[in-house]
Chain A
């Protein structure tokens, strides 16, 4: 969901950007290192600890054999990412190691992790350096719930600048947004292929923000598309969180995108 945090975690442990990480939602697991390894924890602050002592986020950390990485109370955001040098192993399906819960494919046996699972770690040519860190200024400001968006192919008045809350009826496919009831603009349209960040407006007038596991096609009007640089913030919203969708230009969106990417590139050097 939060691609920035996922990539940053991989870059911190000197992995390929697409190596598999663990996405932990709401509460973190308790993981015991069966061999010495270097990990990084990014995304939501779920109070990471190594052997009970607070561990830094957005930083590569070495674990010795037998060390326990665990998590305490959620302090902000929803999804934390754990990367390990070498990447986590799993089943590849349709070219991806991601777990697809709807189809029960990919990742670790196509399901969420369970107590007792043993995670494999890929080979790496050299050990990663502990202590590499992403400076605080460069970390996403998850607490600012402003999502920038470009107007969509279909228009609807009242979407931009209104306050919405993420409904409890939300998941990795999409968030239903509770707020003013918007008037759906168009008559029926034929389904077209969708992208993450698209804001659909069914005729009931309650918008839906599409997230990582979104349906690949849909026929509700798309009234806005959240820009790529705002998607990490969207990924960290919890049901009940308030948000605002603010219209921006493509130029400004691309500027934000480059700024975010230069943060990641700064880690590589």
Chain B
């Protein structure tokens, strides 16, 4: 017999008067991510829930306070979170060509005590998991990054980052699908289109997909 699951500990934080954040965990972890995705799809079926969006290990829930209180919804979420999530099937594999000439490549290498070549080599080594699609249309959070590349985000985000920029921050990497504001470190660029406005969902990547980067000449 499999061991009994311990009761799921879920931290609930209000987000204003009509939303809450349910936190299953704070680590970058595939199993946690799978549970968050399962919890969000369970919550989406409720009539008192307007929207439930899974992130790495959290679910942001927008609800109708005329139908349910924050406390009652928190109880329902804790109960739903103990259910076993479905098995995580490996997603599609995407191979992404990158020209590693990003604005921040030299600064990133210096901050990490590496050469730019080492940064490029390390970035292309893992097969990353898509933890969630969000931020702007087509953006996907990919990770985990090799420990050697972990850096805090920029202290002040840029107001405009060009579309196609490949960036890193924290334990993750991503590609800016559109010209948008952004606080990550830019290490390269790709010509692959991530935002597909006429598809549903309008994004090349889906949560659970896998991504491998390789260096290419400009």
Decide if B183 touches A202 in the complex (CB within 8 Å).
yes
Most buried by B among A189, A206, A217: A217
Decide if B135 touches A202 in the complex (CB within 8 Å).
no
CB of A204 within 8 Å of the partner chain:
yes
CB of B98 within 8 Å of the partner chain:
no
Count the A-B residue pairs with Cβ separation under 8 angstroms: how many?
126
Q: Which residues of A contact B65 (CB under 8 A)?
A: 254, 257
Interface residues of chain B: helix, strand, loop or mixed (majority): loop
Decide if B13 touches A202 in the complex (CB within 8 Å).
no
Decide if A152 touches B156 in the complex (CB within 8 Å).
no
CB of B170 within 8 Å of the partner chain:
yes
Decide if B17 touches A150 in the complex (CB within 8 Å).
yes
Decide if A202 touches B15 in the complex (CB within 8 Å).
no
Known contacts being A188-B152, A192-B55, is A227 close to B15, with CB within 8 Å?
Answer: no
- In the complex, the chain B residue whose C-beta lies closest to that of A250 is B17
Decide if A225 touches B15 in the complex (CB within 8 Å).
yes
Q: CB-defined interface of A225-258 with B at 8 Å, one 1/0 digit per residue? A: 1111100000000000000000000100110010
User: In the assembly, what is the distance between CA of A225 and CA of B202, in Å?
Assistant: 28
- In the complex, the chain B residue whose C-beta lies closest to that of A216 is B134
Partner of A216, one of B14, B26, B53, B156: B53
CB of A146 within 8 Å of the partner chain:
no
Known contacts being A188-B170, A195-B60, is A217 close to B134, with CB within 8 Å?
Answer: yes
Decide if B155 touches A150 in the complex (CB within 8 Å).
no
Partner of A228, one of B16, B60, B169, B197: B16
Interface residues of chain A: helix, strand, loop or mixed (majority): loop
Known contacts being A220-B183, A254-B65, is A225 close to B14, with CB within 8 Å?
Answer: yes
Decide if A191 touches B132 in the complex (CB within 8 Å).
yes
Give the interface size bracket for A toward B. Answer: 35 or more
User: In the assembly, what is the distance between CA of A266 and CA of B203, in Å?
Assistant: 42
Decide if A203 touches B202 in the complex (CB within 8 Å).
no
Q: CB-defined interface of A92-105 with B at 8 Å, one 1/0 digit per residue? A: 01100000001101
Partner of B60, one of A94, A188, A194: A194
User: In the assembly, what is the distance between CA of A218 and CA of B59, in Å?
Assistant: 13
Decide if A193 touches B17 in the complex (CB within 8 Å).
no
Decide if A103 touches B195 in the complex (CB within 8 Å).
yes
Decide if A102 touches B180 in the complex (CB within 8 Å).
yes
* B162 CB, nearest partner CB in chain A, Å: 13
CB of A173 within 8 Å of the partner chain:
yes
- In the complex, the chain A residue whose C-beta lies closest to that of B11 is A153
Decide if B153 touches A202 in the complex (CB within 8 Å).
yes
Known contacts being A152-B15, A225-B14, is A191 close to B181, with CB within 8 Å?
Answer: no
Known contacts being A190-B55, A203-B155, A204-B156, is A217 close to B141, with CB within 8 Å?
Answer: yes
CB of A144 within 8 Å of the partner chain:
no
* A228 CB, nearest partner CB in chain B, Å: 5
CB of A40 within 8 Å of the partner chain:
no
CB of B113 within 8 Å of the partner chain:
no
Q: Which residues of B contact A225 (CB under 8 A)?
A: 14-16, 19
CB of A137 within 8 Å of the partner chain:
no
Nearest first, the 5 A-B pairs at minimum CB distance are: A217-B134, A193-B60, A225-B16, A193-B53, A253-B17
13 contacts between A and B (CB under 8 A): A102-B180, A103-B197, A150-B17, A153-B13, A192-B21, A193-B53, A193-B54, A195-B16, A202-B153, A216-B136, A219-B169, A226-B16, A250-B70
